[in-house]
Amino acid sequence: MNILLLGSGGREHALAWKLAQSKKTEHLYIAPGNAGTSQTGTNVPVDVTDFDAIKTFVVEKEVDMVVVGPELPLVKGIKNYFKENKVLDNVLVVGPDMQAAQLEGSKSYAKEFMQRHNIPTAPYRKFNEETLEEGYRFLEKLQPPYVLKADGLAAGKGVLILEDLQQAKEELTQMVNGAKFGEAASNVVIESYLKGIELSAFALTDGKDYKILPVAKDYKRIGEGDTGPNTGGMGSVSPVPFATEELMKKIEERIIKPTVEGIKEENLDYTGFIFFGLMIVDNDPYVIEYNCRMGDPEAESIIPRIKSDLVELLAATANGTLRQTTLEIDERYAASVMLVSGGYPGSYEKGKKMEGIEGVNNCILFHAGTARDIDDGSVKTSGGRVMAVTAYGNTMEEALQTAYANVDLIGFEGKYYRKDIGFDLKN
Ligand code: AMP
Ligand code: GLY
């Protein structure tokens, strides 16, 4: 099979690393990719939302399957584009169509879907400019903290959690007026605050059946002890010690199964990864968000634990034969520590030469923001999140220890990482 993978982060390097291992893969192309993905296949300088350029490439290279890494092309309708273009008719697309991708693209669409299918989530209401006064009254009835969510995609920044009622009203006003998050917040979902511990669960679905992938925990804040601003993710571990068999059963019965049944009942065209962002409250799972893709940096710990052939799994996902596949998981733990540029998630410098990459052992490096220097071929930083260092272990501690030993071997000016990944999961 010829495969085109869209995206350029650590998630995509993890997917590319695994796809390249399949005997079924003839050519693997990554658009646009990074310095890491170029070791697993051919990087192609095409933008993930330039559907016409993607079409030209797919036709020219006789691509059989397109795997979509990030949400943006899905929410913008890449699947629909493929369905509508006769020459792309036979190409498999891993990912939902534009409507089904609204499960991630619109918080209120996701909330309404969950209500229709009795999927546990925080109670909520939706407000806009016309119903602003009602929004104030609704906030007055809630207890702090107040959770305000921009309805549309806001690059992972559209959620505000506020302690103060007055401030919550002001933020709501700015959101619906377009002063904050633009069009994405013309509708705002206000929901009850759920106090618990977060967990990321994943499944592959072909719209009828599903396979549950390993769970993971990610660490979003820049600072140790989960402090400071949010980032794209500073590390992850999989599996998660508190995700017992009993909890996993609840997650499957109350959330995963009704979600896939809902997709089927509503005839949604969903063939891809579903990411369930969960809050576990008193050992009961609630959905805080759906995403229509793998998580990043969860993928960097989960993908290495998949033993089965990923090309077979994804092709079956896209062509509706997932039931006939088996999913085998490595029992070991995997832990990923993200190396980031100094200053991130604020402003940071790029183009720093990376040293020590060749000297690592017992780990996998998943590149995120890296690029190869065109003059001397060296690897340089090119983004905020630079590289995930992933290691296996028979225990979580062992996986983390091996990952951190390798983190020390890699150097670049301004290197920063969190030293406490997994801190809240240790006994
Ligand atoms: P989201 O983009 O919906 O995942 O929200 C971003 C973050 O806000 C989540 O990862 C949670 O940490 C937090 N969050 C979202 N919704 C809630 C909620 N209802 N209660 C508590 N925390 C929440
Ligand atoms: N790690 C959270 C996300 O990918 O959205």
Ligand 2 close to Cβ of residue 300 (< 6 A): no
- Are 202 and 215 in contact, with CB atoms under 8 Å apart? yes
- Are 127 and 111 in contact, with CB atoms under 8 Å apart? no
From the CA of 310, how far away is ligand 1's center (Å)? 30
Greatest alpha-carbon span in the chain: 62
Ligand 2 close to Cβ of residue 70 (< 6 A): no
Residue 254: half-sphere exposure toward Cβ, Cα within 13 Å: 17
Handedness of CA 145, 150, 153, 154 (dihedral sign): negative
Would you give the end-to-end CA distance of the chain in angstroms? 45
Cα–Cα dist 210/328, whole Å: 14
Atom of ligand 1 nearest to the CA of 277: 4
From the CA of 368, how far away is ligand 2's center (Å)? 14
**Shortest-distance Cα residue to atom 12 of ligand 1:** 198
Cα–Cα dist 24/310, whole Å: 10
From the CA of 289, how far away is ligand 1's center (Å)? 8
Superfamily of domain 333-425: Phosphoribosylglycinamide synthetase, C-terminal domain (3.90.600.10)
Atom of ligand 1 nearest to the CA of 107: 3
Task: Give the closest residue to 370 by CA, choosing from 418, 417, 412, 419.
Answer: 412
From the CA of 233, how far away is ligand 1's center (Å)? 14
**C-alpha Rg value of the chain to the nearest Å:** 21
Ligand 2 close to Cβ of residue 384 (< 6 A): no
Ligand 2 close to Cβ of residue 206 (< 6 A): no
From the CA of 288, how far away is ligand 1's center (Å)? 6
Atom of ligand 1 nearest to the CA of 286: 19
User: Which phi and psi (to 5°) does residue 188 adopt?
Assistant: -125, 130
Cα–Cα dist 329/332, whole Å: 9
From the CA of 217, how far away is ligand 2's center (Å)? 10
Q: What angle is formed at CA 215 by the lines to CA 212 and CA 216, rounded to 5 degrees?
A: 155
Instruction: List Cβ neighbours of 321 (8 Å cut-off, separation of 6 or more).
Output: 206
Sheet holding 2-7, edge to edge: 42-43, 27-32, 2-7, 65-68, 92-94
From the CA of 277, how far away is ligand 2's center (Å)? 8
Ligand 1 close to Cβ of residue 416 (< 6 A): no
Ligand 2 close to Cβ of residue 298 (< 6 A): yes
The pLDDT tens digits for 61-118 are: 999 999 999 999 999 999 999 999 999 989 999 999 999 999 999 999 999 999 999 9
Cα–Cα dist 206/196, whole Å: 31
pLDDT computed for residue 177 by the predictor: 87
The pLDDT tens digits for 328-364 are: 999 999 999 999 999 999 999 999 999 999 999 999 9
Q: Which residues of the chain have pLDDT under 50?
A: none
Cα–Cα dist 60/354, whole Å: 35
Cα–Cα dist 299/236, whole Å: 9
Instruction: List Cβ neighbours of 89 (8 Å cut-off, separation of 6 or more).
Output: 82, 83
pLDDT computed for residue 155 by the predictor: 77
Residue 264 tokens read as 């089927």
Ligand 2 close to Cβ of residue 105 (< 6 A): no
Say whether domain 2-97 belongs to CATH 1.10.1330.10.
no
pLDDT computed for residue 184 by the predictor: 85
**Ligand in nearest proximity to the CA of 121:** 1
Say whether domain 123-191 belongs to CATH 2.60.40.10.
no
CB atoms within 10 A of CB 213: 25
From the CA of 159, how far away is ligand 1's center (Å)? 7
From the CA of 290, how far away is ligand 1's center (Å)? 11
Residue 215 tokens read as 């769970």
User: Which phi and psi (to 5°) does residue 358 adopt?
Assistant: -75, -20
**Ligand in nearest proximity to the CA of 233:** 2
Q: What angle is formed at CA 284 by the lines to CA 239 and CA 323, rounded to 5 degrees?
A: 55
Residue 367 tokens read as 């590149």
Note the CATH number of domain 197-324.
3.30.470.20
**Shortest-distance Cα residue to atom 3 of ligand 1:** 289
| The amino acid at 135 | G
pLDDT computed for residue 427 by the predictor: 67
Instruction: List Cβ neighbours of 241 (8 Å cut-off, separation of 6 or more).
Output: 396, 425
From the CA of 34, how far away is ligand 1's center (Å)? 30
Ligand 1 close to Cβ of residue 185 (< 6 A): no
Instruction: List Cβ neighbours of 377 (8 Å cut-off, separation of 6 or more).
Output: none
Strand, helix or coil at 385? strand
- Are 19 and 40 in contact, with CB atoms under 8 Å apart? yes
Atom of ligand 1 nearest to the CA of 220: 10
Domain ranges of the chain: 2-97, 123-191, 197-324, 333-425
